[in-house]
Structure 1
Amino acid sequence: MIYIVPKPTDTPDDNSTGQVIHELEKAGAAYRILDLDDVDPLKSGLAHEVIWACGIRQNGHHFETLNVLSLENRVVNTPESIVTCACKVMTSALLIRHGVPTPTTLFTSSPDRAHAFIGEYGKAVYKPLYGFDGNGIRLVTDGGDLGEPPWYLQEYVWNDRDFRVFVIDGEAVGAIERVSDSLTHNIHQGGIGRPVEIDEEMRSVTEAAATAIGIDYCGVDLLRDGDGYTVLEVNGTPNWHCMAAPIPRLLAAFLMEKEREMRA
């Protein structure tokens, strides 16, 4: 049995969970919807099952419930990797540790360090620690624009587009280019996406990023940096808007494979 935690942000017109369920049904796979708000993880009765969290609410109850369920079940993605992706500082730390290209980054509560960083680069990109969908990201050119500490700042890499690459089980399987006139090219912020081919460097960088995080599947966001790519972030509950690759079918196949492994 595959237990499915639906993405809270699904809508009738944008139903990520439903797309994968459709593929599971076509394949004859058994599944059941799991409502984390209605589960006592200490008495769930679930053991040796596959649980797919298409998305969770950013609250302690959902995370802790999923975390406890992961003790006796195979949770995709793991709670640890979802939280790592949600925390930009930890994501940056793992990318740096594993030698994955990423913009120069500063995390600090020191005004002096923050002002020096902005002065060195002339401008910096401020990002909320736990933001999503491009919300709250802005360009700062003066320390007085920072607001309250702590601050997560990245060097500004000029661009007119970015890329999202979908990685499943360590393999890059689909990519889009997102273009907009704004600082962020996220589709939720008005970006326009179209499918693109995955070149070899894009493949190498995104697969290395997924490995560094230790995640089953993800969306890796990239910018061109000179002749190569640099990783902006890794998304643990990604959408696959505009991708030509059959992501729902590939995700369904991955879940069925994990379920077979549990039964072996």
Structure 2
Amino acid sequence: MTPSGPVLVVTIKDDPTADLVIVELHDRGVPVVRLDSGDFPHALSIAATITSDGLEGSITTPSRTADLSTVRSLYYRRPSGFTFPHLGEQDARFAAAQARYGLGGVMASLPGCLYVNHPHRIGDAEFKPSGLAAAAAVGFRIPPTLVTSEPDAARAFIKRHGPVIYKPLSAPLYRIDGVSCTVEVAEVAADGIDDAVAGTAHLFQHRVDKQADIRVTVIGDQVFPVRIDCDLLDWRTDYGRLTYSVVAPPSGITEALQAYLTHFGLVFGAFDFAVDRQGRWWFLECNPSGQWYWLEPETGLPMLTAMADLLERKTG
């Protein structure tokens, strides 16, 4: 039987997309408990019992209490990390580990719960090399890509596959003079490679001669493909220069999207493709926690309804 209790929304306090989803669920009469794991333990508590009969217990915020055995779905967005500023360094590190594996382990084990997406599966899918390998396996066309810490390998790759761009493998918080910065996708030449490449892993990828970008948002079994036109290498750097249009995916793309999500155990994904001058779609990446709502006002696509239907576990 599908649980009929609340939807848990796990995210930071400032999350406009989550706000809209919660309003939609409230309007439908679906109970919601919103929480940020970073509030543990000062404003969030948990008591879970695990026996041969399964897991039961509760999670409590300042305004809500949820019965863990009745949670119908968990919408895992962008929670903040655990912090213990009142503790010394070693004690804080110990406490954070206990919180991650305790609270995190319980939240990842809710009986009968639909995860959008499961935090462990998100972690798996966030590794770019794994995503590219999975994309190739399900039939997507992928640009030649090198992951390396060897300067000579990078130079040889650029000479063979140029033009080539550099992408960060992950995007942790990076500040310069106290200001948060984004490491942008950028074209790189062989003579720009120096021995600093040996300091860590880097991702280099053939630059697709693109005419447009595509963002495909998959919510359950619904697919929302949007073409993004601009003159930017990385469209995320200036949203004001973008224009949007709804497109139909080429043959085989929809099936490959679902196969990719199944591979990682996901029910939601924000896929990015580049469309070349011949109209071919090249897979770039899939963000298992990507943003999506900003596309609905631009296109009229019913994405909010689709997400609420999924979390409500609405059928028929």
The TM-score bracket by the shorter chain reads: 0.7 to 0.9
1:37-52 to 2 correspondence within 5 Å? 37-39=38-40, 43=47, 45-46=58-59, 47-48=68-69, 49=71, 50-52=73-75
| Alpha carbons of structure 1 residues 152 and 250: separation in structure 2 relative to 1, 3 Å | same
**Structure 2 residue 247 is matched with structure 1 residue 197:** yes
Matched residue SS, 2:295: coil
Deviation string, structure 1 residues 103-158 (Cα, Å, up to 9, x no partner): 12111112222111101012211111113897421111225346433111111101
Q: Note the aligned Cα RMSD (angstroms).
A: 3.0
**Structure 2 residue 229 is matched with structure 1 residue 229:** no
Residue number in structure 1 paired with 2:214: 163
The one of the two structures with greater contact order (alpha-carbon pairs below 8 A, sep at least 6) is 1
Structure 1 portions without partners, runs of 5+: none
Deviation string, structure 1 residues 52-101 (Cα, Å, up to 9, x no partner): 11223478969755454112353321112322343212211222333332
C-alpha distance in structure 1 between counterparts of 2:81 and 2:271, whole Å: 20
Residue number in structure 2 paired with 1:245: 301
C-alpha distance in structure 2 between counterparts of 1:242 and 1:120, whole Å: 37
C-alpha distance in structure 1 between counterparts of 2:232 and 2:242, whole Å: 11
Tell which deviates more after alignment, 150-159 or 99-108: 99-108
Deviation string, structure 1 residues 194-235 (Cα, Å, up to 9, x no partner): 131323434344334333333111111111243421111101
| Alpha carbons of structure 1 residues 116 and 59: separation in structure 2 relative to 1, 3 Å | farther
Residue number in structure 1 paired with 2:231: 181
1:38-187 to 2 correspondence within 5 Å? 38-39=39-40, 43=47, 45-46=58-59, 47-48=68-69, 49=71, 50-57=73-80, 65-73=103-111, 74=113, 75-131=115-171, 135-142=183-190, 144-145=192-193, 147-148=196-197, 149-172=200-223, 174-186=224-236
- Do 2:271 and 2:286's aligned partners in 1 also have CA atoms closer than 8 Å? yes
Residue number in structure 2 paired with 1:216: 267
C-alpha distance in structure 2 between counterparts of 1:79 and 1:63, whole Å: 12
Q: CA deviation at 1:247?
A: 1.1
Tell which deviates more after alignment, 73-82 or 149-158: 73-82
| Alpha carbons of structure 1 residues 143 and 85: separation in structure 2 relative to 1, 3 Å | farther
C-alpha distance in structure 1 between counterparts of 2:170 and 2:218, whole Å: 22
Bigger radius of gyration, 1 or 2?
2
Q: How many residues are treated as equivalent by the alignment?
A: 254
| Alpha carbons of structure 1 residues 166 and 33: separation in structure 2 relative to 1, 3 Å | same
Matched residue SS, 1:186: helix
| Alpha carbons of structure 1 residues 150 and 98: separation in structure 2 relative to 1, 3 Å | same
| Alpha carbons of structure 1 residues 112 and 190: separation in structure 2 relative to 1, 3 Å | farther
- Do 1:127 and 1:138's aligned partners in 2 also have CA atoms closer than 8 Å? yes
Q: CA deviation at 1:164?
A: 0.4
Deviation string, structure 1 residues 153-210 (Cα, Å, up to 9, x no partner): 11110114201011122431x2222222221122656551413132343434433433
Q: CA deviation at 1:42?
A: 6.9
- Do 2:40 and 2:82's aligned partners in 1 also have CA atoms closer than 8 Å? no
Letter in 2 for 1:131: A
| Alpha carbons of structure 1 residues 111 and 121: separation in structure 2 relative to 1, 3 Å | same
- Do 1:85 and 1:233's aligned partners in 2 also have CA atoms closer than 8 Å? no
| Alpha carbons of structure 1 residues 25 and 42: separation in structure 2 relative to 1, 3 Å | closer
